[in-house]
């Protein structure tokens, strides 16, 4: 038993990981600058949260005080982001928290968190692809193009806006956008980053246009009361008040998912020790400001009780009338651009997780092969594309969204705890960036993430348990026996 435990919790030497990456870098190309990292972060974060979640969270939970919810959620992300920044600067290799856990907590826990990261990136990417499909179908409808019903949604029942239950065959637009993004990823990390930069400029400009022109149409009475009085519905669920603000924070946490994908590109960053902390923290700060500003304008233009829609910004523009009618098409194009960049960064992160685990022998070696010309792990990218396209094509949005937050919160919790562990076990490691006020900051970050996990329903925990059991079976049937560290 003691020997089995020793094998399960064997650790990779952090210094050796750094030396190996510095020596040959596994064939990956170091091309990303701090500007690329910031735009990748903004590209991954600004998407579903700002174009979809703001309306639902304001109408159901927090009202105009959703701005406070975004700040609370941002605080938890910043605390976790500080921990990510220390790790990414200290161990600048692909694999994100999987690689960090391998150096601090051992192989089995590293596999566990790697499997959890696959859950996060795979289902987050699929969720956004389904959201992209909805906006694209809406835009096509404005142009008079209506897709066949069988190609509009998944094979499962999907409730349309008019209440009609329809049976689809496959969500064709969602599959298409995954295929298009895969083509860009095949071109290489430098080209993918350039495409992302263009998309980020487009969607940030659209958001700034909404903020700038929307300020003129704010009705201050819509902000009164700023924190609506707490009420309890027939089912016993409370809404609004401070409890609603905190519940809103848990809901909009999904809006910040994506910054951790930056750490998966550490091995492709020119100067990761210097640029990774800047990229993570700057992208988080920019996105928090954008979220708060958009929420303030949105709830000022439209009363929060009317925002229970999938396209709240489009609703706000329509409610103004002819004054902002010209901005409507740009908002839809900005939403499509925003969601596209999220898919690109999430698939990039997902493929690098496959690459990192495969490099350690716990997934087939084909997934860690690097294309000589593009410097891209093509097989890992193909797997990410097939998995994402399949899930986005056959599962509805409600099922996908439930699994994303819990996986991310678990990853954040482990990162925060790992910082404390590594400070004790390997104090001599060079740390170009250090989390301030350790262990207070990591412990607070872990506590905030755990509290949000506990607020999630039991069926979400059940799906996480099922996913975890499947991962454990895969580890003991393949990963344990093929681990390079073991052999």
Q: What is the pLDDT of residues 440-459, one digit of tens each?
A: 999 998 888 888 777 777 77
Confidence label for 469 from pLDDT (cuts 50, 70 and 90): very high
pTM of the model: 0.79
Best-predicted range by mean pLDDT among 155-159, 172-176, 429-433?
172-176
Helices (H), 215-327: 241-252, 272-301, 312-320
pLDDT digits (tens, 9 = 90+) for 383-435: 998 998 888 887 765 556 556 777 778 878 888 888 888 888 878 878 888 88
Convert 250-272 into a string of H (helix), E (strand) and C (coil). HHHHHHHCCHHHHHHHHHHECCH
- Dihedral over Cα of 92, 95, 96, 98: its sign: negative
Q: How far apart are CA 36 and CA 32, in angstroms?
A: 6
The answer to whether the beta carbons of residues 50 and 200 sit under 8 Å apart is no
Structure tokens at 307: 């925002």
Confidence label for 472 from pLDDT (cuts 50, 70 and 90): very high
Better pLDDT: 376 or 174: 174
Partners of 458 in beta bridges: none
The pLDDT value recorded for residue 158 is 56
When mean pLDDT is compared across 49-53, 84-88, 160-164, 289-293, the lowest value belongs to 160-164
CATH topology of domain 2-159+171-482: Amino acid/polyamine transporter I (1.20.1740)
* pLDDT surpasses 70 at 157: no
pLDDT digits (tens, 9 = 90+) for 221-235: 888 888 888 777 665
The pLDDT value recorded for residue 13 is 73
The pLDDT value recorded for residue 386 is 92
The answer to whether the beta carbons of residues 387 and 367 sit under 8 Å apart is no
Preceding peptide of 309 cis, ω within 30°: no
Cβ atoms within 10 Å, residue 177: 23
The pLDDT value recorded for residue 237 is 61
Preceding peptide of 439 cis, ω within 30°: yes
Confidence label for 463 from pLDDT (cuts 50, 70 and 90): confident
Q: How far apart are CA 152 and CA 393, in angstroms?
A: 10
Q: H or E element: which one contains 158?
A: strand 157-159
- Tell me if residue 3 falls in helix, strand or coil: helix
* Nearest of 353, 403, 344, 292 to residue 132 by alpha carbon: 344
């Amino acid at each position: 038993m003691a020997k089995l435990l020793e094998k399960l919790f064997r650790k990779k030497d952090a210094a050796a990981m750094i030396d190996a990456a510095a020596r040959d870098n596994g064939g990956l190309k170091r091309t990303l600058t701090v500007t690329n990292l910031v735009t990748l972060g903004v590209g991954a974060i600004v998407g579903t949260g700002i174009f979809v979640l703001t309306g639902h969270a304001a109408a159901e939970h927090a009202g105009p005080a959703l701005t406070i919810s975004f700040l609370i959620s941002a605080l938890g992300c910043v605390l976790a982001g500080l921990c990510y920044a220390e790790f990414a600067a200290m161990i600048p290799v692909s694999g994100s928290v999987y690689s960090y856990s391998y150096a601090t907590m051992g192989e089995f826990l590293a596999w566990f968190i790697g499997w959890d990261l696959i859950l996060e990136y795979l289902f987050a990417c699929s969720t956004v692809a389904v959201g992209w499909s909805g906006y694209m179908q809406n835009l096509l409808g404005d142009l008079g193009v209506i897709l066949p019903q069988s190609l509009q949604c998944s094979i499962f029942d999907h409730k349309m806006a008019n209440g009609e239950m329809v049976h689809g065959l496959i969500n064709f637009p969602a599959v298409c956008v995954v295929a298009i993004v895969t083509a860009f990823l095949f071109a290489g990390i430098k080209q993918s980053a350039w495409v992302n930069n263009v998309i980020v400029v487009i969607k940030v400009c659209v958001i700034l246009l909404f903020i700038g022109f929307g300020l003129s149409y704010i009705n201050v009475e819509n902000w009164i009361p700023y924190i609506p009085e707490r009420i309890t519905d027939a089912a016993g669920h409370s809404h609004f008040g401070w409890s609603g603000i905190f519940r809103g924070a848990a809901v909009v946490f999904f809006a910040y998912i994506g910054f951790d994908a930056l750490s998966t590109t550490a091995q492709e960053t020119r100067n990761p020790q210097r640029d990774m902390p800047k990229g993570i923290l700057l992208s988080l700060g920019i996105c928090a400001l954008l979220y708060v500003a958009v929420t303030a304008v949105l709830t000022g233009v439209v009363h929060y009780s009317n925002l229970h829609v999938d396209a709240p910004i489009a609703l706000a523009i329509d409610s103004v009338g002819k004054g902002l009618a010209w901005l409507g098409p740009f908002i839809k194009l900005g939403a499509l651009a925003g969601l596209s960049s999220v898919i690109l960064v999430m698939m990039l992160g997902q493929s690098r997780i496959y690459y990192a685990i495969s490099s350690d022998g716990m997934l087939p070696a084909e997934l860690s092969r690097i294309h000589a010309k593009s410097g891209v792990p093509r097989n890992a990218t193909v797997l990410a594309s097939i998995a994402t396209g399949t899930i986005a094509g056959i599962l509805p949005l409600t099922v996908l969204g439930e699994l994303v937050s819990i996986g991310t919160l678990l990853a954040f919790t482990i990162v925060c705890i790992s910082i404390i562990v590594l400070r004790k076990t390997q104090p001599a490691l060079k740390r170009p960036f250090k989390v301030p006020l350790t262990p207070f900051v990591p412990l607070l970050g872990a506590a905030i993430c755990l509290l949000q996990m506990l607020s999630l329903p039991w069926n979400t925990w059940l799906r996480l348990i099922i996913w975890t059991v499947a991962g454990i079976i895969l580890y003991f049937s393949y990963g344990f026996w093929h681990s390079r560290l073991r052999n």
